[in-house]
Amino acid sequence: MWAPYICPFEVTITAAADLVEVNPAVDMPIVISSMFIYVTSELAEAQEEWLEVEIQRGGTAITSGSGGSTAASALATTPKLPASGFQFEANNTTLATFTGGTTPWRGSFNVRAGGEFRFNPEEYVGCVDGNGGMVVRLPNAPTDSIDLKGSVHVLEWL
């Protein structure tokens, strides 16, 4: 059974950063089903800017990023669900590195509109504990400092 969890983040970005890093538990695969990224500081910004966003997945291992939150369980979407087996970190300013990793998904969003990325089941990006983990990353620095809020929605196999 797939159980839905939410990994929220809130950060000021001045450089490339991992918005969310997820690390699956042993024998409990995870997939990213959707992502929501909203800019809260550019409302009167005259300059149009598009930011790249990508999902990176480890090949055989991940070296966790740093500078953000301590690893924690994700938020269950209902109180009846158990705590997530996977751990997540948010707002890492030192990027995670991967052993043999891939970038299975790339996109972009306009800072004025934000980004809502809802994947169909056949488009989910997932990993198992043997991959080490995944990150949702802004691979490039924005033109100026921006405040972001949002969430990454993860399904975990129980």
How much is the pTM? 0.94
CB neighbours (10 Å) of residue 54? 16
- Which of 112, 117, 116, 118 has the alpha carbon at shortest distance from 142? 112
More confident residue, 9 or 111: 9
Confidence band, pLDDT 50/70/90 cuts, at residue 44: low
State the Cα torsion 148-50-74-31 to the nearest 10°: 180
Length of the chain: 158
Q: What DSSP character marks residue 68? A: S
Work out the percent of the chain whose per-residue pLDDT is above 70. Answer: 96
Work out the percent of the chain whose per-residue pLDDT is above 90. Answer: 81
Domain residues of the chain, as ranges?
2-157
Query: Furthest-apart CA pair in the chain: how many Å?
Result: 48
